[in-house]
């Protein structure tokens, strides 16, 4: 494994909402370049950029129509090159998102594939005949609602789409498709990219017999149709792994890394499976922590137990562009609890992801119905499902129009007024801010090998008290967390590296929502 990845802190940038340099209300690559000094000042090791490739934007860039060019909305290929050069000059690795489970229906590959059953790309997507009664091939449900199959009158067959109908699934079983995807990887690797984040990597291959998914036993109907099923056959098939071996061999030639996104009912097991050994993914993260609504010692104990004896390397994140921001979801927007969650993240074994605005403690934004853009949010309104609240503009300057995100009167999504008071410019002046605390945490992680790459030993996980140790190169660090509101008894001894919150009035008591990190 590339040594930098162990214990790395990777900062995710959603370009559309990071910084708009040309004043059209949409973030762009030049805007990212403008703010790279800020990102580097956090002390992170790398940036991950969500897709900025040519796209009809039905799913805001996760529907790619040209994997080897930049959508004009975000800039040009020259801007992408300049971004790589500038990031490298600042000591930042660069990771680009790759969406290979599916493409846009406007991609030339799909346009050719749908024309007939015998053209050169006829088998580049997942096609299937109708049942004798004309109904879809099986009962699979799409993530964004409705049947996962759409009828195409030209081929007189159904095509698979795990997301929107405008996002047909590539047939990654096909060696020619694999070759084309590796050519895309090679294109960006030759331009200096340090690795890829692989969107829903376990969706690449489906059951060859297209068997029905079995139903889940449910006490009440879930909000989404696909949650009625056990997803045994539409994802996480063993045939994905040989392709990952091919990808790993290519990445190793360039010294680049792979980060897989896992969406599965058994997330920890699949994370481990996809990173086992030295011929699969370099690391992977799942939604195990991203979907938690309450952080408890039991959650962390389960997460880390999933990696006991594993040769692979995990990654962890509390927020990203797909879920409710962790300050709201896990910390009730309370600054003390936000700092506690950040401390926990930075003490876990594995790579850590910060989503833009995590370092500012941004709450999940309120977006009115008439401003929703996310197709998932619109489809499931008013259930509260949707991603727009995590994607609103980044606040840079508190008293500037649109908080310094854009010179336009408005952005593609509205600015949450609460975010103004948390702007980077304000927090940069405050030694007690969440931003200052985040920088301190990252510096602590970088300065201590035990936190970066050490072993993990669970010492205690009872009620609200979580204690674990990290060890490497003769160094032992004890991490003690009170994840609840009431003081708890805890043994606190050693050289204190970080103290968060009150001690409860006694050296053997840890106050509510507090943490101690000390070296033995």
- Residue of 155, 227, 218, 184 lying closest to 66 (CA atoms): 184
Distances 510 to 51, 290, 338 between C-alpha atoms, Å? 43, 27, 17
Which two three-digit tokens encode residue 440?
A: 């301190």
Active-site residue, from 45, 79, 199, 374: 199
Is 265 catalytic? The answer is: no
Cite the beta strand spans of 4-139 per DSSP E: 9-13, 46-49, 53-54, 66-70, 93-98, 127-128
Taking the C-alpha atoms of residue 416 and residue 116, their distance in angstroms, rounded to an integer, is 48
Which residues does 220 contact at the CB level (< 8 Å), separation at least 6? none
Taking the C-alpha atoms of residue 134 and residue 131, their distance in angstroms, rounded to an integer, is 5
Neighbours of 210 (CB within 10 A): 17
Number of H helices, E strands in the chain: 14, 20
CB 318 within 8 A of CB 284: no
Distances 8 to 81, 338, 447 between C-alpha atoms, Å? 23, 20, 12
Eight-class DSSP state of 108: H
Active-site residue, from 45, 63, 263, 453: 263
- Reduced to 3 states (helix: H, G, I; strand: E, B; else coil), residue 482 is strand
- Reduced to 3 states (helix: H, G, I; strand: E, B; else coil), residue 120 is coil
Is 334 catalytic? The answer is: no
Packing angle of the helix pair 175-190, 240-254 (nearest 10 deg) = 20
CB 16 within 8 A of CB 61: yes
- SS3 string, 375-386, reads HHHHHHCCCCCC
Taking the C-alpha atoms of residue 74 and residue 412, their distance in angstroms, rounded to an integer, is 13
Determine the length of the chain. 520
CB 380 within 8 A of CB 227: no
Eight-class DSSP state of 170: B
Per-residue DSSP letters for 298-317? HHHHHHHHTTTT-SS-BEEE
- Residue of 364, 424, 367 lying closest to 395 (CA atoms): 424
Which residues does 215 contact at the CB level (< 8 Å), separation at least 6? 228, 229, 230
CB 64 within 8 A of CB 54: yes
CA atoms within 13 A on the CB side of 58: 17
Per-residue DSSP letters for 314-367? BEEES--TTS--HHHHTTTT-HHHHHHHHHHHHHSSSEEEEETTGGGTPPPPP-
CB 103 within 8 A of CB 65: yes
**Residues carrying an active site annotation:** 199, 263
């Amino acid at each position: 494994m590339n040594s930098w990845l162990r214990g790395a802190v990777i900062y995710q940038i959603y370009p559309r909402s990071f910084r708009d340099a040309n004043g059209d209300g949409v973030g762009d690559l030049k805007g990212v370049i403008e703010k790279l000094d800020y990102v580097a000042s956090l002390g992170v090791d790398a940036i991950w950029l969500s897709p900025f490739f040519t796209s009809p934007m039905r799913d805001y860039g996760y529907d790619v129509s040209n994997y080897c060019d930049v959508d004009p909305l975000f800039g040009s290929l020259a801007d992408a090159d300049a971004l790589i050069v500038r990031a490298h000059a600042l000591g930042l690795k660069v990771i680009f998102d790759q969406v290979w489970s599916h493409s846009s229906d406007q991609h030339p590959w799909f346009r050719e594939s749908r024309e007939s059953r015998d053209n050169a790309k006829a088998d580049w997507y997942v096609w299937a005949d109708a049942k004798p009664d004309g109904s879809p091939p099986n009962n699979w449900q799409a993530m964004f609602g409705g049947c996962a199959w759409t009828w195409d009158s030209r081929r007189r067959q159904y095509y698979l789409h795990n997301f929107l109908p405008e996002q047909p699934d590539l047939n990654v079983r096909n060696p020619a498709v694999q070759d084309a995807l590796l050519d895309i990887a090679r294109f960006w690797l030759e331009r200096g990219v340090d690795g890829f984040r692989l969107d829903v990597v376990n969706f690449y291959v489906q059951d060859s017999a297209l068997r029905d998914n079995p139903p889940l036993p449910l006490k009440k109907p879930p909000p989404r149709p696909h949650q009625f099923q056990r997803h045994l056959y539409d994802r996480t098939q063993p045939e994905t792994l040989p392709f990952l071996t091919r990808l790993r061999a290519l990445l190793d030639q360039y010294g680049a890394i792979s980060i897989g996104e896992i969406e599965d009912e058994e997330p920890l097991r699949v994370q481990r499976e996809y990173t086992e050994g030295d011929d699969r993914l370099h690391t992977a993260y799942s939604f195990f922590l991203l979907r938690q609504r309450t952080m408890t010692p039991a959650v962390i104990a389960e997460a880390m137990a999933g990696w006991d004896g594993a040769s692979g390397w995990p990654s962890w994140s509390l927020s990203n562009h797909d879920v409710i921001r962790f300050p709201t979801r896990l910390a009730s927007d309370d600054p003390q609890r936000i700092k506690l969650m950040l401390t926990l993240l930075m003490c876990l074994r594995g790579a850590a992801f910060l989503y833009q605005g995590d370092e500012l403690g941004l709450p999940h934004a309120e977006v009115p119905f008439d401003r929703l853009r996310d197709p998932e949010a619109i489809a499931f309104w008013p259930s509260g499902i949707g991603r727009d609240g995590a994607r609103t503009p980044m606040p840079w300057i508190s008293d500037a129009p649109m908080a310094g995100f854009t010179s336009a009167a408005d952005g593609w999504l509205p600015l949450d007024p609460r975010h103004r008071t948390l702007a980077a410019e304000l927090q940069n002046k405050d030694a007690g801010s969440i931003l200052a605390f985040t920088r301190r945490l990252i510096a602590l992680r970088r300065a201590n090998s035990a936190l970066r790459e050490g072993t993990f030993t669970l010492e205690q996980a009872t009620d609200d008290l979580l204690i674990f140790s990290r060890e490497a190169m003769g160094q032992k660090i004890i991490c003690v967390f009170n994840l609840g509101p009431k003081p708890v008894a805890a043994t606190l001894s050693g050289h204190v590296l970080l103290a968060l919150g009150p001690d409860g009035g006694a050296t053997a008591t840890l106050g509510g929502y507090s943490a101690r990190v000390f070296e033995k």
